[in-house]
Every structure is written in C-alpha cells, then in structure tokens.
C-alpha cells in the first residue's frame, strides 16, 4: 500500500538538511496538493514553510491567479511572495522555453541562503520529460530526465514527488480536500508538445503497455547513472579546454573528445551562459566548422543562441538584437545604452564634452588616423590587428564630429578626438556585450 502524500513528505523531510522550505506554487492542482500537504506537517512549518508564485504576465487573468495564490496561502497561515517577470521572447526561443528561463531565474533570485525550493514534479511529469528528450534525440543526460535535487541560487532545488507520486494521487488529494485550484487553459492546448504527449500519446501507449511509466522511469534511472559517470570525465576536460578570461573553448580539443563527452560538455558550457543547447544537426554543423581556415569566422545559429568559431576557439552568445542600419544619436558624455545592450560613457560620469558628438555604428569603409600614427587606417585592419571578435565589430560605437570620425569606442582616438576628450577631462569607455 502506497503511503499518503503527507506521510511520504514527512519521511522525505526527515532525510533533508534542516534548511528553510519554499514551495514553487503556480496555483495548479499539483503544486496546490504539495503546498497543502506540507502545511499539515509541523516539521515543515518549523522550517519556515512559505510559497513563491511567479506571474509571467502571459495570460489576461494572470494577476487574478496571483491573488488566488495569496488568498490560499493566507488561509493556511503561510507567506506567499509574488514575483512578476518579463518573458523575453526576442532571443529566438519559443514562449514556453522563454517563460521557463524567466521562472527559474526568478526562483534563483528569490531563494534565501540555504533554502530549499520544492517543486511538484511527479512520476508522470518525469515520463513525459524522458519521452520528449528521446524524440529530440537526447543522450544519457537528457534521457536521465529531471534531477531530484540540484543547486539553485543560494540554495537547492528539490522534487520530492518525482519518484513515487503520480498525477492521479495529487488530483485525488485535491478532490478529497476540496482545494481550490487555478485552471490554466494552456494546459489543455494539444498544439504544445508536452500536452500532446500527455493527452494523446501516453494514454494510447498505456492501453498496450500498462507498465510503460515504470519502464520509462527505469530506463531514465539507468541513463542518469551513465550520465553521472560520464560527467566526471567531461568536467575534467572542460577545465582544460575552457578559458575563464574569455569564456571560450578550445575548438580542436573539444572536437578531439569522444562524442559521449563532446555533447554534454558543449551543452554544459551553453547552459552556464543561459543559452539553449543545439540540436544534433546543429551540433554536427559546429563540428564541421571547427576546422575553419585562418581568416574565416563561421557562425552557427539556432533559436536563442549563436556560436562562432574564431581564432581556433568556440565563442557563444545570445543573438544580436536587430539594429536599424542608420541608427545614430547625439552624445555629450552621459551614460548611453547602445542598441545591442552595451554601454558608452565617459570614465568620469560627471564630465561632459563641450559639444555633442554623433554616435553611430559601423556601415563599412570607415577610416581613422589614430593620434600619434602617421597613417590613416581602415577600421577593418585595426579590428583585425586588435583581434576584436567579429560579432563585436558591428556593435562598436563610432564617434563623429560632423563627418569626421574622431574615436572608435575606447580603442582608437584621433588627434582631434584627444583635444575634445582632454577638454572634457575624461576619456570614453565602452562596456561591450559579451
């Protein structure tokens, strides 16, 4: 006989360090059952049990959902913090992925030192995750599914229901206790991959293979064990191939790794940078481009990321924002946010130029005569000599007095530019986007 939800959680808490507890509470049935069951346990309340609700602002009544969560928690005598986030879809990801990134970033930011964030993911969620990863061609790490525990922010993430609790058990708990829940209509939208799998595919599989979930989770456990064994090897390789100063990877060294190490190492590097992993086809393209000849700088793009092969190394970044080719603005030394998110300012932010300069971006063919140089130089040549990465060149702010280029960010300044900045008592400083 399976233990009740409360007794399962009570037993699970006994094996966890005595840190604070925070439930990721959406208001849906699963997190409602988890939060309510924990609230019945003196051991959970003694550890400062509270709730955290993330309002993504993607639904017209999301504010009402947040109010529902606060009312429910007030009825339990628990605090409920609501965090409103902006879901950034301009990175090229789908709305689901962008919302997930925003949500976990909020979790990490809100978690207190040593606190444990509890999520209501259960056995059925795990089975869905593993099948989705399989359909996307994942290796052992992906097929291992969600981890029960992992570090998050200043604390830890914990999924206490992942291995033993089913969706049906949680719904039965909600019904038995007549708990009010938020009904998010997107959960029934079968155009979304997970919902299609949940409502259409898995029920059909279960009619032929009643033990399908058990079998899937057993395979996931084997894959997780394999992934953990490989992890020790690719982490050691990562320490050798990764340059912390530039956050880049040695391309030849990465390509020389066994495929079982190459894939998870690349994914780890990207995830640390909050970038999505490539598909198998995109990863194969990266591998083909690792041997690019000197002077070439291939770029492989996928939704939410772009990877450059330059100077024998791999460089990754979020896609550059679209910038109007004729963008320009007047600037007298005040802090200026550039179109790509970089910043231009004078070192002394109180200083000001005697008259505004025009700031614009590269359009091609620009030339400058740096102070102390006997020749006028093409920017293309200066960028190459300075080994400025190609993706930064288009975002580099160019400073003009009338039609004369007097400074290229804080890299090269003409004699006239020196006169202007000496008059202001401060030089320009460019904070480039990584």
Chunk the chain into consecutive blocks of 10 residues (it has 434) and report each block's average pLDDT, rounded to whole numbers. Answer: 83 89 96 97 96 87 93 97 82 72 91 96 96 90 94 95 95 97 86 89 93 96 96 97 95 96 95 89 94 82 92 91 87 93 92 94 92 93 90 92 95 95 94 83
Q: Which distant-in-sequence residues (6+ apart) come within 8 Å of 109 by Cβ?
A: 83, 153
Tell me: do 67 and 107 sit in the same domain.
yes
Looking at the structure, tell me whether residues 172 and 253 fall in a common domain: no
Q: State whether 51 and 145 are in the same domain.
A: yes
The answer to whether residue 222 sits within a structural domain is no
Domain that holds residue 123: 5-215
The answer to whether 72 and 32 have CB atoms below 8 angstroms apart is yes
The owner of tokens 């989705």 is: 132
Q: Within a domain: residue 228? A: no
Beta strands (DSSP E) in 98-184 are 116-118, 149-152, 155-158
pLDDT at 332: 95
CATH number of the domain residue 283 falls in: 1.20.59
Rounded Cα distance between 193 and 30, Å, is: 20
Asked if 46 and 180 sit in the same domain, the reply is yes
Query: Do the domain assignments include residue 235?
Result: no
Q: Residue 320's pLDDT is what?
A: 80
| Tokens found for residue 40 | 């019945």
Predicted pLDDT of residue 420: 95
- Beta bridge mates, 413: 407
Helix (H) or strand (E) holding 75: helix 62-76
| Whether residue 62 sits in one domain with residue 189 | yes
Q: Does residue 400 share a domain with residue 310?
A: no
Residues 164 and 263 grouped into a single domain: no
What pLDDT does 291 receive? 82
Tell me whether residue 313 is in a domain: yes
> Residue 220 — φ and ψ, nearest 5°?
-65, -40
Examine residue 230 and state whether it is found in any structural domain, yes or no: no
Residues 313 and 355 in one domain: no
In a domain, 227, yes or no: no
In the chain, the number of structural domains is 3
Q: Please name which of 55, 52, 46 lies closest in space to residue 120, comparing C-alpha atoms.
A: 52
How is residue 124 written in tokens? 């059925």
Residue 179 and residue 113 in one domain: yes
User: Is 220 a member of any domain?
Assistant: no
Give me 137's structure tokens.
């061609």
Predicted local distance difference test score (pLDDT) of residue 1 = 46
Q: What's the residue count for the chain?
A: 434
Task: Evaluate whether residue 356 is within a structural domain.
Answer: yes
SS3 call for 395 = coil
289-307 burial: b if 16+ Cβ within 10 Å, else e: bbebeeeeeeebebebbbb
Do 156 and 37 share a domain, yes or no? yes
pLDDT value, residue 292:
77
Is the pTM here over 0.85, yes or no? no
- Residue 204 corresponds to which tokens in the numbers above? 């059909």
269 and 351 fall within a common domain? no
Q: CB–CB of 150/157 below 8 Å?
A: yes
Residues 345 and 200 in one domain: no
């Amino acid at each position: 006989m399976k233990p009740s939800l409360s007794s399962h959680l009570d037993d699970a808490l006994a094996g966890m360090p005595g840190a604070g507890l925070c439930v990721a509470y959406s208001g849906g049935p699963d997190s409602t059952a988890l939060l309510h069951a924990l609230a019945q346990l003196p051991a959970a309340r003694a550890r400062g049990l509270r709730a955290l609700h993330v309002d993504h602002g993607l639904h017209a009544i999301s504010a009402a959902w947040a109010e529902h969560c606060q009312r429910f928690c007030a009825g339990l005598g628990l605090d409920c913090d609501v965090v409103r986030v902006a879901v950034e879809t301009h990175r090229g990801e789908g709305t689901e992925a962008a919302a997930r990134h925003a949500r976990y970033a909020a979790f990490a930011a809100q978690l207190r030192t040593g606190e444990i964030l509890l999520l209501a993911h259960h056995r059925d969620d795990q089975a869905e995750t593993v099948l989705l990863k399989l359909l996307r061609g994942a290796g052992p790490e992906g097929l291992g599914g969600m981890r029960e525990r992992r570090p998050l922010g200043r604390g830890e993430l914990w999924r206490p229901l992942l291995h033993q609790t089913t969706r049906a058990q949680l719904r039965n708990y909600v019904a038995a206790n007549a708990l009010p829940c938020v009904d998010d209509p997107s959960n029934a939208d079968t155009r979304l991959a997970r919902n299609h799998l949940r409502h259409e595919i898995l029920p059909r599989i279960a009619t032929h293979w009643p033990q399908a979930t058990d079998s899937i989770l057993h395979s996931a456990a084997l894959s997780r064990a394999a992934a953990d064994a490989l992890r020790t090897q690719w982490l050691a390789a990562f320490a050798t191939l990764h340059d912390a100063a530039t956050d880049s990877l040695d391309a030849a060294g990465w390509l020389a790794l066994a495929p079982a190490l190459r894939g998870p190492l690349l994914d780890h590097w990207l995830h640390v940078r909050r970038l999505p992993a490539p598909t198998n086809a995109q990863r194969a393209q990266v591998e083909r481009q690792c041997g690019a000849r000197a002077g070439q700088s291939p770029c492989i793009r996928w939704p939410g990321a772009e990877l450059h092969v330059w100077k024998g190394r791999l460089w990754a970044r979020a896609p550059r924002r679209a910038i109007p080719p004729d963008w320009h603005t007047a600037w007298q030394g005040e802090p200026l946010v550039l179109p790509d998110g970089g910043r231009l300012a004078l070192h002394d932010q109180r200083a000001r130029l005697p008259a505004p300069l025009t700031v614009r971006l590269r359009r091609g063919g620009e030339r400058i005569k740096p102070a102390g140089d006997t020749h006028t130089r093409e920017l293309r040549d200066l960028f190459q000599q300075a080994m400025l990465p190609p993706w930064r060149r288009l975002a580099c702010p160019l400073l003009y007095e009338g039609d004369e280029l007097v400074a290229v960010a804080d890299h090269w300044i003409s004699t006239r530019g020196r006169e202007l900045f000496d008059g202001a008592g401060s030089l320009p400083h460019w904070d480039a986007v990584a």
